[in-house]
Each structure stands twice: as C-alpha cells, then as structure tokens.
Copies of this chain bind each other. A is one copy, B any other.
C-alpha cells in the first residue's frame, strides 16, 4: 500500500538558541515523506522551482520516496520560510514567507496518485485540500493537517475539507480555536460530528492525544536532552502515524492506532534532535524500534 502526501516542499531558514541554518530542505510534505518512508512506499506531490536541485531530490530518493509527483515550475522559486524560536523552543516567530511556486499551485494527480489508498493532506489552502480529496476516490484513509492561518481566514472552507477526511491532525490550541471550544474532549467530539472518525491533538513537547469511537488515547512526548529544532516535528509525527497505519492494511483497529501514535511520537522525537531533515534522513529502522520500546517502558504501569 502506498502513502501519498500533498503539501509544501520548501527551503527553510531557522534560528534556534542552539544554532541556525540559512537554507535547508524542509516543508510539510518532505518531513512527512521521510518519516513515512520507514513504513511504506511514499509518493510526494508538490511544486518546486529552479532552485530545487539534485541534492534535494537525492534526500528523498535515498529514502526510496517516489518524487515523480514533484512538479518543477520553470522560472519559479521554491517556497521559502524563515523563523526563529525562543529560549525554550516553545514559541516561534515567522520572519519571512515567500510563496514562490506555491502561489499558483494546483495539484495535478497522476492516475497512480488518484488510486492512492492512504493520503495525507498536509497544511495547505483548504480549497486545494478539498480538490485533492475529491480526486482520490479509492482512498480508505485520508488525514488532514492545517494551521491557525486557515482557521482565521478560511474557516468554512477548512471545515468543509475536514468533513471529507477520516482523520484530522491538528495542534491542540488550533483544535480549540477551530471549534471555539476550550475543552479538548468536547472539541474533538465537535470535529467528529463534522465527519472525521479520528482526531489527533498534537501537543508539542507534551505529546499527543487521539480521540476515536473507542474513546481517548494519549502518549507523552519522548523525553529528550537534546532538542535543536522543532520545525517539521508535527509532520514527522504524521508521517510515522500514517506510515504505520498504511503498512497495516485497511483494518484500522484500536491497537493499530495506539501503535501508530507511538510510531508518530518516535518519528516526531527524532525530527527535533537536529535541524530540518538532518536527523530523520539518516535514521535507521532499528533506532525507531528501540525508541518505541523505550516509549513503552516510560509510559506503562500496572494498576494495583
């Protein structure tokens, strides 16, 4: 089973208290694809400009990612984002956003992509997410991510996009903002009434929670001494989560979902250990298994 991701492919400039990068490979689709590549075949769909070269393709291809859906726009510039994180990496400020080829992006899905069974609609304009969703008629598991910008400028369209997917992954605070409901349990119920069977609340350094028909499930984040750059952690989480689900066929039962949460948590934790994709692009399956085992060890207890 293959996973298709539609989202941004970017160059990022990032400053954190632990260093900086002037121009590194990034973007939601890239972070997602690298993380998901440890579990299943991954196809990336998104636009790049003339500045996107062999070195960048090679990062994806060396992990076996299918890059045939990356659309090269002649004369264009790849999406660029610059941001800076505060002392405890909890808050970040966007310093610059240059849409470049993303401004006129209209996802064109190949026949193969339209036949995708598992699809991740990374954070892009909700109308585009809707149009991609409509093209993927064979998909049995479609998840969507978004951000405060779309909640504030295109809420109705975002809710329409959400209503057509199986799973919403969103930051905890954005779930509250989107539903205008401060209580997470109630916010998740509202989302599920709109359509999705599953809601994942990403809580950054505090972990992640899943709400489904079966109820609630939550895991803390993996404790790390070295956190260098949180950029892309949510997409790496999504990649581990969706990759694990895709690799387990269409029986998305509770035990598969709870393990998917653990794999998502593991991938998110590796992501933040270095800048951009530096850590995940040199990760090994053994390291992932070891981290999931460790996550198991630090979260399990036996009631009296």
Contacts and interface: CB of A to CB of B under 8 A. Distances in A.
Contacts of A262: 301, 303
A89 B296 contact: no
A183 interface: yes
A248 B8 CA distance: 54
Count of identical protomers in the assembly: 2
A195 B189 CA distance: 45
Interface string A287-298: 001001100111
A186 B88 CA distance: 12
A220 interface: yes
Interface residues of A, number: 43
Contacts of A182: 17, 87-89
Interface in A1-46: 17
Interface in A216-250: 216-220, 223-227
A220 B223 contact: no
B206 A301 contact: no
Given A87-B182, A223-B218, A259 B302 contact: yes
B300 A218 contact: no
B225 A209 contact: no
A223 B299 CA distance: 16
B301 A255 contact: yes
Contacts of A17: 182
B176 A217 contact: no
Given A209-B223, A220-B220, A292-B303, 4 more contacts: A88-B183, A218-B223, A259-B303, A296-B301
Counting from the closest, the 9 A-B pairs by CB-CB distance are A88-B182, A218-B220, A206-B206, A258-B301, A216-B223, A185-B225, A216-B298, A296-B303, A185-B223
